[in-house]
Amino acid sequence: MTSRTEIKYPEINVIEKRRRGWTSLQFSERKLVLLVVDLVILNGALLLMLSLWPAPVFARMVERFPWYALLLSGIWLIISTFFNVYDLAKAASAVHSIWGAGAAVLITQAIYILIPYLTPVLPNRRTQIVIFFLAALLGITLWRFIYATVFTQPSFRHRALVIGAGWSGETLVKAIQETSTQSGNPYLGTGYELLGFVDDDPAKQELEIEGVPVLGTGEDLIRLVKELEPDEIIIAITHSQRINPGLFQAILACYEMGIPITTMAMLYERMTGRVPVQHAGQDLTVLLPITRPSGFRFYLALRRVADILTALPGLLLVGMLTPFVWLGNQLTDPGSVFYTQTRVGENGKLFQIIKFRSMVMDAEAETGVVWAQEDDPRITPMGRILRRTRLDELPQFWNVLKGEMSLIGPRPERPELVRKLTQEIPFYGLRHAVKPGITGWAQVRYRYGASTEDAFVKLQYDLYYIKHLGPFIDFAVLIKTIQVVFGMKGR
C-alpha cells in the first residue's frame, strides 16, 4: 500500500446494515453441511432397518438408538477421513465424491454390522441388512451428486473482496486456485468467488492479479461494498500496522454493515493446513498458539501415556521383525540391522535416533550430509521395502519410550541440515518447540522432502500442527498415516 499522503479518504458515515444471504457458504460451513447431511442419512438408514423389527423389539431398539447412532457416526468419521470425503475440491466433483463417499459408506456399514454387543442384534432376515446398506449407499451418493451439482452454483458461492493486491494477495489467490481440481472455475471446490482487489497503489489500478481485477483504491471500498455486496472482506496485507487510518475506518464501517472481516493468514491456514510463514511479518498470532485450551497440559500428559502404551507393543513388533530384516539385509547388502544418527529434538536437544538400516553401509562416507533423493542408489533392495511400508521407522519406538520423541510431531532433522535451514528459512527453529514424532502433519500432507524448498513447505505444515496441537489434528495424522502405510507411499 502507498504512503498515507497519497490517498484522501472521505468522511465515513453510518451505513445501513446489510443482511447476509444464508446460501453463501464459507469454507468451514460447506464441510459442516456435508458432514451433517451424511450423518443424518447414515443414521436414518440404521433407523429404517430397526423399524422392520416387530413393534415390541423396535421399541426396545429405539431406547438404545442414541448409542447405536453414536458408534455408527464415530466409525463413519474415521473411515471418511481415510477416504478424504470432506476434501471440498473432490466433493465439488460428482464422480470423485460419489466414488469416495460410496466406498466409505460400504466399509463403515460392514465394520458396524460385524461389531458384536455394541450394535443391534443381527436380524435373521437378510432383507433388513440389505435395506440398511442400500438406503445409506443410495442416500449418500444421491446427496453427494446434489451437492456437486447444486451447491457449486453461483448462488451458493462465497463472494469476497480482497484488500491488498501485493505479494500477500497474490499468494492467497494461488492458494485458493490450488485447492480445486475443477477446470473453468478455479474456486469451485472452496466455494470462494473473489470479486476483486482493493489497493492504494496507482500502478496496480485496472490490472489483473492472477486473473482477479484490481477494482479501485481504499477510498472506493465503501462504494464497492454497496455495489458488489461481498459476503466477506479479506485483508491481505503482511504488515497490517501500515494500513492507512482512513482505510482502517472504512474496514470498520464494513464490519458495522455486517460483513465478516478475515485476514489472508487465517484463510490460508483453513484452506491449506499450513501457516503462511513468509507473510507473518512480526505478527506472533500468525506463527504461535498465543493461548492454549485450559486442559492442554492434561492432554499432553495423556499423549505421554499414549506414547508409552503404543511404544511397548511397537517394540515387541520390532523384535519380531528384526530377524527377517537382518536376513533380508544379509542377502542383499550385509551389515548391521539397525542404524543410528544424531537428530535435533525438543528445545534443540540432540539425541540418537534409531531405525532399521535401509541404505548401504557408510552411505555418506564419500558424499557427506546430503538430502535423500527419489530412487536413491544408496538404498538397498531390502531398504526399498522397508521405506515403502515405513517399517524402517518402527525402531523409533525406543526413542518414544525414552521420551526423546512422540508418536506424532515434526520429523527430527540432522543438526548439519538444521544449521543450514535456520539460516535460509525464517522461523525454522520454532519447529523444535515440541517433541519430534515418528509421523507428523507434514509427513502425511506433503511429499518426501529433498530440498530447501521442500523444507520450507514442511515448516509451514509443522507450524500449523504446533499451533493447533490437540486431539483432533492428532487423530487426523493417525488416520492419514495408516492411509500412507497401506498405500505404500513411503520413500
- Which residue shows C-alpha cell 492432554? 299
Statement to judge: residues 139 and 170 lie in one domain? no
Same domain for 255 and 184: yes
Q: Residue-wise pLDDT tens for the chain (491 aa)?
A: 444 444 555 555 545 555 455 667 777 888 999 999 999 999 999 999 888 877 777 787 788 889 999 999 999 999 998 898 998 888 888 898 999 999 999 999 999 988 888 888 765 667 888 999 999 999 999 999 999 999 888 888 889 999 999 999 999 998 887 765 544 556 667 788 899 999 988 899 989 998 899 999 988 999 999 999 999 999 998 877 778 888 889 999 999 988 999 999 999 998 889 999 988 877 888 888 888 888 899 999 999 999 999 999 999 999 999 999 999 888 888 889 999 999 999 999 999 999 999 888 876 666 666 666 666 778 888 888 888 888 999 999 999 999 999 999 999 999 999 999 999 999 999 999 999 999 999 999 887 777 888 899 999 999 999 999 999 999 999 988 888 777 655 55
Among 150, 183, 201, give the residue marking a domain's end: 150
303 lies in some domain: yes
Distance CA 261, CA 266 (A): 11
302 shares its domain with 340: yes
pTM summary value: 0.86
Distances in Å between the Cα of 195 and the Cα atoms of 158, 211, 252, 460 are: 10, 11, 20, 28
For residues 62 and 75, membership in a common domain is answered with yes
User: Between vectors from CA 272 to CA 452 and to CA 199, what angle results, nearest 5°?
Assistant: 95
Q: Are strands 338-344 and 261-263 parallel, antiparallel or unpaired?
A: unpaired
- Identify the domain containing residue 134 by its residue range: 27-150
> For strand 192-198 and strand 158-163, is the pairing parallel, antiparallel, or unpaired?
parallel
With a CB cutoff of 8 Å and minimum separation 6, the contacts of 346 are: 432, 433, 434, 435, 436
The CATH number assigned to the domain holding 236 equals 3.40.50.720
Tell me: do 144 and 266 sit in the same domain: no
Residue 196, strand partner residues: 161
**Which residues face 355 on adjacent strands?**
339
pLDDT digits (tens, 9 = 90+) for 97-152: 999 999 999 999 999 988 888 888 765 667 888 999 999 999 999 999 999 999 88
Tell me: do 371 and 457 sit in the same domain. Answer: yes
Q: Please check whether residue 59 lies inside any domain of the structure.
A: yes
Do 146 and 158 lie in a common domain?
no
Q: Are residues 263 and 381 in the same domain?
A: no
In a domain, 85, yes or no: yes
**Domain co-membership, 356 together with 249:** no
Residue 19 forms part of a structural domain: no
In-domain check, residue 22: no
| Residue 21 domain flag | no
| CA separation for the pair 301, 226 (Å, rounded) | 52
Dump the DSSP string for 36-77.
HHHHHHHHHHHHHHHHTS-HHHHHHHHHHHHHHHHHHHHHHH
Spatial distance between the Cα atoms of 126 and 124, rounded to a whole number of angstroms: 6
CA-to-CA dists, residue 179 to 115, 174, 257, 268, angstroms: 37, 9, 30, 11
* Whole-angstrom distance, CA of residue 310 vs CA of residue 405: 12
Single out the residue in 240, 256, 272 at which a domain terminates. 272
* Residue at 445 is within a domain: yes
Task: Tell me whether residue 307 is in a domain.
Answer: yes
CA distance 69 to 143: 19
User: Which of helix, strand or coil describes residue 102?
Assistant: helix
Give the dihedral sign, CA 360/365/367/370.
positive
Residue after which a domain boundary falls, among 272, 287, 306? 272
For the chain, the domain total comes to 3
Q: Are residue 246 and residue 340 in the same domain, yes or no? A: no
Q: Tell whether 110 and 187 lie within a shared domain.
A: no
